[in-house]
Amino acid sequence: MMLRIVAAVLLCLLSGIDTVYAADAAASANAVAESMREAIFSEGFEARLNVFVTRASGAHPAPLKLAVIGQISADRQRLVIRGISPEAARNRSYAVERGSDGRIRGVESRAAGEQNEFDPYARMFDSGLVACDMLSPWWGWPKQFLEGMEQIDGRDCLKLRSMTDDEKSPIREVESCVDQQAKLSLKTRLFDSRHVLIRATTVGKVMRKGDAGTMAAKKLTIRDAAKMLTEIEVYAGDEQYEISADTFAALDKLTHNEQQKTK
Amino acid sequence: MNLFRFALDNLYRRPARTGLTVSAIALGIAAVVALTSIAWGFEASWQKANDARGTDLIVTKMTSENTMPSPFKAEKVQQTLAGLPHVKEVVGLLSEMLTVSNDAPPVFVFGWVYGSYLWEHLKLVDGRWPASREEPVVVIGALAAEMLHKKTGDQVEIEGRVFQVAGIFESSAVVENGALLMTLDMAQQVTDKPGKVNVLNIKMDADATEADLRSIKEQVKQTLPGFVAITSGELVSKNAVVRISKAMSNATILIAGLVGALVVFNTMLMSINERTREIGILLALGWQRGTIIKLIVSEAVILSVAGGVVGIVMGVGIAWGLEHIELMRGKIDAIFSMPFFFAVMGLSVLLGICGGFYPAFKAARSLPSAALRYE
């Protein structure tokens, strides 16, 4: 009888420890995700990218030059991805926004003021670039789990699994490997609801940001399920980019139209 | 027969080993010569570009360590600087490393204030300068023109915009010779950095003294938080690329020095082991131990001096070759000087003495009776 009581007490204590440990792990996973979310806060930035695409067939379309302009805060994340060259990309831009409700929406603009809503989970410029990935919405998802340490190219990183039950999102699960010092995910794998890999992004080279002293990706590759390889290199940037009144005009117009419809 | 001739004959007797030792030393010395000349040249080229423009002080962001400092809004800073005593002109400069041709590596694109003193040191060899602040034209350095296969009247595409080549210029600084130049307004438009510059260049009036420069540095520190006023030399020495290249050159000197000394040490040790009987005979004939030491050290020094001479020639060749490969053209400008070559030869002699001393001492300690019995 005595033995049973001792065993029961021990079991209770152990389950208690387990619960406390699980709670601590979840708390630290959330803290890592939160720190990643905050790391990209910016009143305005611009990055210019060289994008090289290799299709599954091995074909190489003309290299792209793109500008990514963004404004990221806790309440609202907005990006514009604008084509610089070649000619076919020049007059195209994609604006994407994630509001405080977590909803992501986008507008595609073409020459002569033609604007259409676009799927933020779709590819842009016929490359592996996806607007939603650039916003990394998974850092705000409620389920975050730490899964130990890994080393990528000699850099230690913390494995983190983020999950969502949002049925509107084609991405349900994300595996990241976070370099906590650099506040940078060195490897990101996105999965759908059936745990099928959608895309994997790997950082190849990092660079020190000019004034902040923190790190950012200089070279990265995106490999998607269709075996398209997209290599991206940041060749210029401005961490204090001045957002003008018309930078996000396409998104403002979309909001205005939505408000009109509601009325 | 004098000692030098004797040492030389000893080396001639084993041509393969002598050749290999000289080659190993030469490779180390060549690496030292090439890397050091490029590291110094890189620093000197940027400084030459700044000095040639006639800039007395450069105002930039305090934390900037990149090849070009981070861009900042110029207007307010410029106004403050223009009001300081003895300041004659304050002009902005914007620069980016951009790809302007799929067949050529990226080049520097500079934006300079139209009509400012920055343009005065350039020599126009063909065409004309931009006619206004907003004219969408570029002038290109002679080296860039050659690399990009462009001449006056041709077009270049920069960040999706087409510019006509208005002229070709020459500069005393290789950095500028390999660059494209446009007005600051155009550079700000094309890089989407309205009102921004990487640095502000200050030109002082003729009455300004060193004390005035120091005073301006202090006033910038006091009145413009986050900014610093420095000379072109100070800006270049802060540059991360210059620091890395200098560190690499120092590391190469250290490694090449150690490897060179070990090669000489190994060769001379093998040599005296093979010549134990010969050394015994010399000692038995009455040679002084000091003379034996001089003989062995002389052989080591001859080896390392020969390696040094060959290494200098190879190093100059490597640096010249690197300057002319497509990827590096217009970006490096190796500099050589007689004091530098003398220093390298000094390093070679030092390698010989360090590597040869222990074997020489060991040989001199041999007992003639034991050495003559050695098989």
Per-residue pLDDT of chain B (375 residues; tens, 9 = 90+): 588 888 888 888 888 888 988 898 888 888 888 888 887 887 777 777 777 788 889 898 865 455 567 788 898 899 999 999 999 999 999 998 888 877 777 889 999 999 999 999 999 999 999 999 999 999 999 989 988 899 999 999 998 889 999 999 998 888 888 899 999 999 999 988 889 998 899 999 888 888 998 999 999 988 888 888 888 777 777 766 677 777 877 888 888 778 878 888 888 788 877 778 888 888 888 888 888 889 888 988 998 899 999 999 999 999 888 888 776 666 677 888 898 899 889 988 888 888 888 888 888 888 877 777 766
Per-residue burial over A243-253, b if 16 or more Cβ lie within 10 Å, else e, is: beeebbebbbe
Cross-chain Cβ contact A236/B191 below 8 Å: yes
Q: What is the domain count for chain B?
A: 2
Query: In this complex, is the C-beta atom of B196 within 8 Å of any C-beta atom belonging to chain A?
Result: yes
Which residues, in sequence order, are CB contacts of B233 under 8 Å at separation 6+? B47
Longest dimension (CA), chain B: 92
Q: What is the mean pLDDT of residues A214-220?
A: 84
What are the E-state strand segments in chain A?
Answer: 42-54, 64-72, 77-85, 93-98, 104-109, 115-118, 143-152, 155-163, 173-179, 184-191, 197-208, 215-224, 229-238
Q: Is residue B235 part of a domain?
A: no
Cross-chain Cβ contact A213/B71 below 8 Å: no
Residues A36 and A152 in one domain: yes
pLDDT at position A19: 46
Reply yes or no on whether the pLDDT at A127 is more than 60: yes
Residues B150 and B252 in one domain: no
Closest chain B CA to residue A88: B160
Residues A80 and A196 in one domain: no
Q: What is the mean pLDDT of residues A11-31?
A: 57
Query: In this complex, is the C-beta atom of A50 within 8 Å of any C-beta atom belonging to chain B?
Result: yes
Query: In this complex, is the C-beta atom of A116 within 8 Å of any C-beta atom belonging to chain B?
Result: no
Q: What is the domain count for chain A?
A: 2
pLDDT at position A10: 45
Token pair for residue B30? 């060549």
Alpha-carbon distance A174 to B116, whole Å? Answer: 54
Quote the pTM value.
0.69
Alpha-carbon distance B240 to B262, whole Å? Answer: 33
Count of residues in chain B: 375
Cross-chain CB nearest to B160 (options A85, A238, A239): A85
Q: Is residue A20 part of a domain?
A: no
Coil, helix or strand at residue A125:
coil
Q: Is residue A115 part of a domain?
A: yes
Cross-chain Cβ contact A211/B73 below 8 Å: no
pLDDT at position B132: 95
Count Cβ atoms below 10 Å from residue A205 Cβ, excluding itself.
11
Alpha-carbon distance A32 to B362, whole Å? Answer: 64
Higher pLDDT, B243 or A203: A203
Q: Is residue A182 part of a domain?
A: yes
Q: Is residue B369 part of a domain?
A: yes
Residues B280 and B358 in one domain: yes
Alpha-carbon distance B125 to B264, whole Å? Answer: 53
Q: Is residue A100 part of a domain?
A: yes
Q: Is residue B187 part of a domain?
A: yes
β-strand pairing of B180-183 with B107-112: parallel
Alpha-carbon distance A220 to A203, whole Å? Answer: 4
Cross-chain CB nearest to B64 (options A83, A84, A210): A210
pLDDT at position A150: 92
Reply yes or no on whether the pLDDT at A17 is more than 80: no
Residues A73 and A189 in one domain: no
Coil, helix or strand at residue A174:
strand
Domain boundary among B196, B230, B264: B230
Query: In this complex, is the C-beta atom of B241 within 8 Å of any C-beta atom belonging to chain A?
Result: no
Radius of gyration of chain A (CA): 21
Closest chain A CA to residue B102: A63
Exposure of B38 by Cβ count < 10 A (0-12 exposed, 13-18 middle, 19+ buried)?
buried
Q: Is residue B268 part of a domain?
A: yes
Per-residue burial over B214-246, b if 16 or more Cβ lie within 10 Å, else e, is: eebbebbeeebeebbbbbbeebbebbebbeebb
Residues B95 and B178 in one domain: yes
pLDDT at position B275: 79
Query: Contacts of residue B196 in chain A, CB cutoff 8 Å?
Result: 238
pLDDT at position A129: 95
Domain boundary among B201, B230, B259: B230
User: B63 is in which domain, residue-wise?
Assistant: 57-230
Residues A158 and A170 in one domain: yes
Radius of gyration of chain B (CA): 29
Q: What is the mean pLDDT of residues A243-261?
A: 84
Q: What is the mean pLDDT of residues A127-147?
A: 92
Q: Is residue A158 part of a domain?
A: yes
Helix axis angle for B289-324 and B15-52, nearest 10°, is 50
Cross-chain Cβ contact A90/B160 below 8 Å: yes
Query: In this complex, is the C-beta atom of B70 within 8 Å of any C-beta atom belonging to chain A?
Result: yes
Per-residue burial over A34-49, b if 16 or more Cβ lie within 10 Å, else e, is: eebbebbebebbbbbb
Alpha-carbon distance A180 to B183, whole Å? Answer: 42
Query: In this complex, is the C-beta atom of A246 within 8 Å of any C-beta atom belonging to chain B?
Result: no
The number of helix segments (H) and strand segments (E) in chain B equals 13, 12
Q: Is residue A22 part of a domain?
A: no
Q: Is residue A248 part of a domain?
A: yes
Query: In this complex, is the C-beta atom of B9 within 8 Å of any C-beta atom belonging to chain A?
Result: no
pLDDT at position A88: 86
Q: Is residue A21 part of a domain?
A: no
pLDDT at position A27: 59
Residues B62 and B168 in one domain: yes
Higher pLDDT, B13 or A53: A53
Domain boundary among B207, B230, B253: B230
Residues B132 and B7 in one domain: no
Residues B256 and B117 in one domain: no
Q: Is residue B41 part of a domain?
A: yes
pLDDT at position B335: 82
Instruction: Give the sign of the dihedral formed by CA B87, CA B91, CA B97, CA B100.
Output: negative
pLDDT at position B166: 96
Residues B94 and B211 in one domain: yes
Query: In this complex, is the C-beta atom of B262 within 8 Å of any C-beta atom belonging to chain A?
Result: no
The ipTM estimated for the assembled molecules is 0.71
User: A256 is in which domain, residue-wise?
Assistant: 42-47+65-126+240-262
Residues B99 and B226 in one domain: yes
Residues A141 and A230 in one domain: yes
Cross-chain Cβ contact B63/A213 below 8 Å: yes
Residues B90 and B221 in one domain: yes
Residues B249 and B326 in one domain: yes
Query: Contacts of residue A61 in chain B, CB cutoff 8 Å?
Result: none
Chain B nearest-CA distance from A22, in A, is 42
For residue A136, CA distances in Å to A81, A98, B43, B252 come to 15, 10, 41, 43
Q: Is residue B143 part of a domain?
A: yes
pLDDT at position B274: 78
Chain A nearest-CA distance from B329, in A, is 19
Residues A114 and A185 in one domain: no
Query: In this complex, is the C-beta atom of B103 within 8 Å of any C-beta atom belonging to chain A?
Result: no
Q: Is-contact A162 A177, C-beta < 8 A?
A: no
Chain A nearest-CA distance from B63, in A, is 6
Alpha-carbon distance A207 to A219, whole Å? Answer: 9
Higher pLDDT, A177 or B277: A177
Nearest to B168 by CA among B178, B160, B157: B178
Residues B215 and B252 in one domain: no
Q: What is the mean pLDDT of residues A92-116?
A: 87
Residues A218 and A245 in one domain: no
Peptide bond into B85 cis (omega under 30): no
Closest chain A CA to residue B96: A236
CATH of the domain at A183: 2.50.20.10
Residues A109 and A161 in one domain: no
Closest chain B CA to residue A86: B160
Q: Is-contact B147 B330, C-beta < 8 A?
A: yes
